[in-house]
Amino acid sequence: MRALLCLGSAMPGRLHAQAPDAPAEQQGPVPGQTGAPAVPTGPSPGEPGFATQLFASSRSNLLGDIYGLRSFLGNYGISLGLTNSIELFGNVSGGIRRGASGNGLTQFGLGIDTQQAFGWEGGTFNVSGFWIYGGNFSSRFLGTLQTNSGILASPTVRLWEIWYQQVLADGRLDLKIGQQSLDQEFMTSQGSSLFINTMMGWPLVPSDDLYAGGPAYPLSSLGLRLRAQPTGSITALAGVFQDNPPGGPFYEDGQRRGASRAGINFNLRTGALFIAEVQYALNQPSEGLLESAPTARSLPGTYKLGAWFDTANFPDQRFDDTGLSLADPNSTGNPRLHRHNFSVYAVADQTIWRPDGDGPQAVSVFARPMFAPTDQNLIDFSINAGVTLKAPLPDRDNDTFGIGFGVGNVSRRASDRDRDTAFFTGAYTPVRGAETFVEITYQYQIAPWWQVQPDFQYFWMPGGGVANTADPSRRIGNAAIFGVRTNVTF
């Protein structure tokens, strides 16, 4: 279940052509999204205290200003963040077996604005960590490649990110160095960030094809990232990162391997992961008018094109180092190694309907296809797409409804190995193909600091159509699951 090694949206998740980071805020979604979580900053001075106006619209955190503590720290450029997500899912049909389980994620972080702190202009320091707890619903009940929740991960307490960012050239350029999680800035989609399924955050191709799912939630790697904005509508991102957070062999690269369990495996001993992305923003608000909504005729959109290249060796999905099928009894069992790996991807987010240019209601669509070579990769193609409706009901301006789907295709080389296994063993061996899921969700904003999100997902061909371990004579059945997530910003 290598897909479990990368979570998609824990809550806050990844971002899209945005301005330089604010203290303690990762480039990504808000609590409840499918990217990896981002710690929110504290409230502005003057926000309600803990004991007053608990559900006030101006209150961005449950604890408010904590009797002046956040305001005091803010005077020195320090911001604190704490969020908690808890969810419960139940499988009512198909999968490995029926049942329910819960899990959760607490994220904490600290940010420092270096100009406020000690006069160093344009600098931001950020450190964040996790407490991940609960069972793994997907592996216990579903057996899917596209795991049902972006906060599922091996239980542990872990340092996540620790980096320094410097803004240059009047904000047109910024550099970030340190331990980073790629899902906060690369491959992000504004529309997909609403959804809970992991692959709506960090997609299936890197989740299954990179070592340990790559440097994405709940893991991170040492690296260097450069962002440039040559024009108001074009942004370019590029970076190089250590490609293997745990540092182990491809098939034994768990989230809690060695020092990775605590998030302190700062190694540079394995391969390098190069990644680059170009973003084009259409009909965005002009500088100085960031709070103004586009008109109904000027519907905003963001389009991205990117690629990654990994210098490490990757195992063949079918053949061993002598040219025999890995399913052949005479095989050495050592896969043929391919030098390097790569993928290309595109992201599109587009608002297609807004009845009132000054109102919150809007319909937006998104799509994110990704491609990778078939020889050394289990997944050679994946896509996420969907539609979201902001303010779906009267007087519910901050709620969002969405319908989305994802497809992950098992590569031809891996499918051929299934055929070889059937030939050499004579036993029932399903030939894997594509796994598809659909997700229907509604994010209900009870208060600015509290969201509740009921969710339904249905999976066709879990695992791409693998045999059920409980009944090896049959494939895992199509699965229907119901769940709910709650996010609280403290």
Q: How far apart, in whole angstroms, are the C-alpha atoms of residue 370 and residue 464?
A: 17
CB distance 197 to 62 below 8 Å: no
The pLDDT tens digits for 105-127 are 999 999 999 999 999 999 999 99
pLDDT in tens, 149-198: 999 999 999 999 999 999 999 999 999 999 999 999 999 999 999 999 99
CA distance 155 to 34: 18
* Pairing of the two strands 477-489 and 78-95: antiparallel
Residue 53 confidence (pLDDT): 73
Contact 388, 402 (CB under 8 A): yes
**In the CATH hierarchy, which fold is given to the domain comprising 2-489?**
Porin (2.40.160)
pLDDT of residue 6: 36
* Residue reference for tokens 């998104």: 366
Tokens read off for 351: 């608002």
Neighbours of 254 (CB within 10 A): 15
Q: What length is written for the chain?
A: 490
Residue 213 has what pLDDT?
Answer: 96
DSSP assignment of 173-215: EEEEEEEE-GGGTSS--TTGGG--SGGGTS-HHHHHHSGGG-S
User: Rounded to the nearest 5°, which phi and psi values hold at 261?
Assistant: -55, -35
Where do the structural domains in the chain lie, given as residue ranges? 2-489
Phi, psi of 287 (to 5 degrees): -60, 135
**Burial (0-12, 13-18, 19+ Cβ within 10 Å), 441:** buried
User: Closest by alpha carbon to 186, among 94, 250, 276?
Assistant: 276
Q: Which residues of the chain have pLDDT under 50?
A: 1-45, 287-296
- Interior CA angle at 186 toward 181 and 187, to 5°? 125
DSSP structural state of residue 35:
S
SS3 state at 97? coil
Q: What is the pLDDT of residue 266?
A: 86
Q: For residues 310 and 210, is the Cβ–Cβ distance under 8 A?
A: yes
Contacts of 83 (CB under 8 A, 6+ apart): 11, 12, 31, 37, 39, 40, 106, 107, 487, 488, 489, 490
Per-residue model confidence (pLDDT) at position 286: 57
Judge residue 474's burial from the number of C-beta atoms within 10 Å of its C-beta, 0-12 exposed, 13-18 middle, 19 or more buried: exposed
